[in-house]
Amino acid sequence: MPEPALYPLDLLTTTEARFTADSSAYASTAHLDALRARDYARLDAGGHVYLDYTGGSLYAQSQLDAHLKLLSENVFGNPHSDNPTSQHMTELVEAARAYVLRYFNADPAEYACIFTQNATGALKLVGEAYPFEAGSRYLPLYDNHNSVNGIREYAHRAGAEVTYVPVLPPDLRLDAARLESELATRDASKNNLFAFPAQSNFSGVQHDLGWIARAQANGWDVLLDAAAFVPTNRLDLAAVQPDFICLSFYKMFGYPTGIGALLAKRASLAKLRRPWYGGGTLVYSTVQGEYYFLAPGETGFEDGTVNYLSIPAVEIGLRHLESVGIEAVHTRVEALTGWLLAQMTALKHSNGAPVVKIYGPTTTEARGGTIQFNLFGPNGTMMDGYTIEKMANKLHTSVRTGCHCNPGAREMALGIHEEDLAPLFKDKDRMTYQDFLVVVDGKKTGALRVSFGIASNFADAYKFMHFAESFVDQTAEAVSQFKVDLEIVQHP
């Protein structure tokens, strides 16, 4: 494949200077460049172009230093006791819990913070305990993470109705008229749950948070998936008040992994009926009488021993994000996203055919820093995304390929219909990925995704365009041949 020409790396400095001069918003975030040099120096030291922030944010060196100092200078014990080491640990866990609520401007009298393994764990807590029954409704969007989709299995098992609200190509925004109609249709004597993401992890669309109050005014409980939204946006729970919010802290600030949270209105939490109990969730239980009393509030939902040594790192991470300024992160991400969208949509083959197709909005209006796309040859044939990812790997460039656990958005974006998928499930209890490729056009298995975050800079966006430009006037067949050549090298 020929060397790139439109985005030569020796023009990076002058192009960045021009961009900074033209974008006062980006220029206002110059302190983030100093932050990158100080706290994320390993990126440039290793020659990395990291564009997978929606998959997971990056941790700062100062976060690690602060957490290591805390651990190395103290003795901590399991918090389920009254001994000195246990009490000290309990204090730090509760301080972190309080700080989470403070960060999201949530009144602790109104909201509870339940530590979970991740956002998926938070969603499972809601799904398994929500009082679905015959006559209840579960109303998710097509644009939801699989962990939100999975709640439908609890709803089905309880005899509730499950209805999906579509998102509409090309921008993949929700069908507002359909949603209005569905919210108006419910049995007021039953519990009904509406679930949607504040920001799509597939397309970057930011759905209107005004739907929270509108749904609640119609008698619905609202579950907000905030995992892709809060890393680069402010979520103010005094301004919008969903009943349940799920998030993962590693997506916000990289470390620690393995800890998320369910933020829940205490009144809504009281509706949940847990199907079991475990250690740490009880006031008392007996074997002989088979009785038990579940602990009230957060304690009744934190199964077993919490990840107590890592939980203090959550407060460290939130303080780091506050010191940087979430508004500054948002501003920088928006500026970089706007520049990259403009460059990608303008990239053409010699015959005028577009190189890139964006799935989602092509401007920064009501969208985040996640860009979903595929590359196409001059004749309109889609290039294999997994091969392109492997090519990016060789340049130390981290992108992501697939459906990103959001099959509904993928199906809408790529034009996959129910009749296309039906053979996958006909007379089958299980299926393999190869089955999927046989039934569905292999090139429609997913798309490429790039995303910006706290340590992103202009060089990341520019270097990616340098890479993308190398596909101008290249055919899908040529890209496939690269895949064959690569496999021969890896498996001689």
Cite the active site residues.
405
Return d(Cα 89, Cα 258) in angstroms, integer.
18
Q: What's the distance, Cα to Cα, between the start and end of the chain in Å?
A: 22
For 277, 279, 294, 299, 303, the CA distances from 285, given in Å and listed in that order, are 10, 10, 9, 15, 15
What is the spatial distance between Cα 322 and Cα 306, in angstroms, rounded to a whole number?
25
CA-wise closest residue to 155 among 137, 143, 182, 179: 137
Question: What is the DSSP secondary-structure string of 194-232?
Answer: EEEESB-TTT-BB--THHHHHHHHTT-EEEEE-TTTTTT
In the structure, how many helices (H) and strands (E) does the chain have? 21, 17
CA dist., res. 73 & res. 69, Å (int): 6
Burial of 338 from C-beta contacts in 10 A (0-12 / 13-18 / 19+): buried
478 C-beta neighbours (distance < 10 Å), count: 13
**144 secondary structure, DSSP code:** -
Amino acid of residue 325: G
CA dist 48 and 461 (Å) reads: 12
Q: How far is CA 81 from CA 97, 285, 297, 461, in A?
A: 18, 18, 19, 51
Q: At CA 469, angle to CA 464 and CA 472, rounded to 5?
A: 150
Rounded distance, CA 455 to CA 336, Å?
Answer: 12
